[in-house]
Amino acid sequence: MKNRLVIVDGIRTPFCKAGSDLAALGADELGRIAVNALLTRTGIDPALVDEVIFGCVAQPAEAVNVARVIALRAGIPESVPAITVSRNCASGCEAVTQAQEKILAGRGSIFVVGGVESMSNIPLLFKPTAAENSAAPAAQKVLARKSNHLRHSARKIFNRASDCCLASPTRFAA
């Protein structure tokens, strides 16, 4: 096969739980770190890259096309296009698939491809009932009542998983 996909190298940031060691780093910074390390380790001239494709489900509001932000911050020239794809848990795989399709179509031969996410920086949004239940204890004046109300509200909130969902901040950007 003439136009086959060859993965030259792979780099990843350490995997850790949300809210822990890498919580201060956004998806764009995590991606930049990985791409910088990849370019350094392989010695590939960033100007030779035909396109950057990254998968990301919950793109940060400050980096709406996170692939473009990663590419520019990693030193890839502005002339190199970059796109972000979103396919829930398969976004990184979709990025690889799109690179292969572009290779087969003759639209490039060197792609920087990956998946990026910062679960620590994805906001949790609550339905109005959950928000009301969590705010109700604050209305209580007596500490004992406040404590009792808080305990009952917590049970209501955390026993109803349907009151909580993950959402991207870009869905609600003005």
Measured distance CA(12)–CA(82) in Å, rounded = 19
Question: Are 32 and 105 found together in one domain?
Answer: yes
- 91 within domain boundaries: yes
Angle, vertex CA 170, rays to CA 37 and CA 73, nearest 5: 25
How many residues can be counted in the chain? 174
Residue 81, classed as helix, strand or coil, is: coil
Q: Is the pTM of this model over 0.95?
A: no
Question: Are 60 and 72 found together in one domain?
Answer: yes
Question: Are 107 and 130 found together in one domain?
Answer: no
Whole-number pLDDT of residue 43: 95
Quote the number of domains for the chain.
Answer: 2
Whole-number pLDDT of residue 168: 41
Whole-number pLDDT of residue 174: 37
Question: Are 114 and 139 found together in one domain?
Answer: no
- 17 within domain boundaries: no
Q: Taking the chain (174 residues) in consecutive chunks of 10 residues, what is each chunk's mean pLDDT? A: 77 86 93 96 96 93 94 98 94 94 94 93 78 66 70 60 44 38
- 162 within domain boundaries: yes
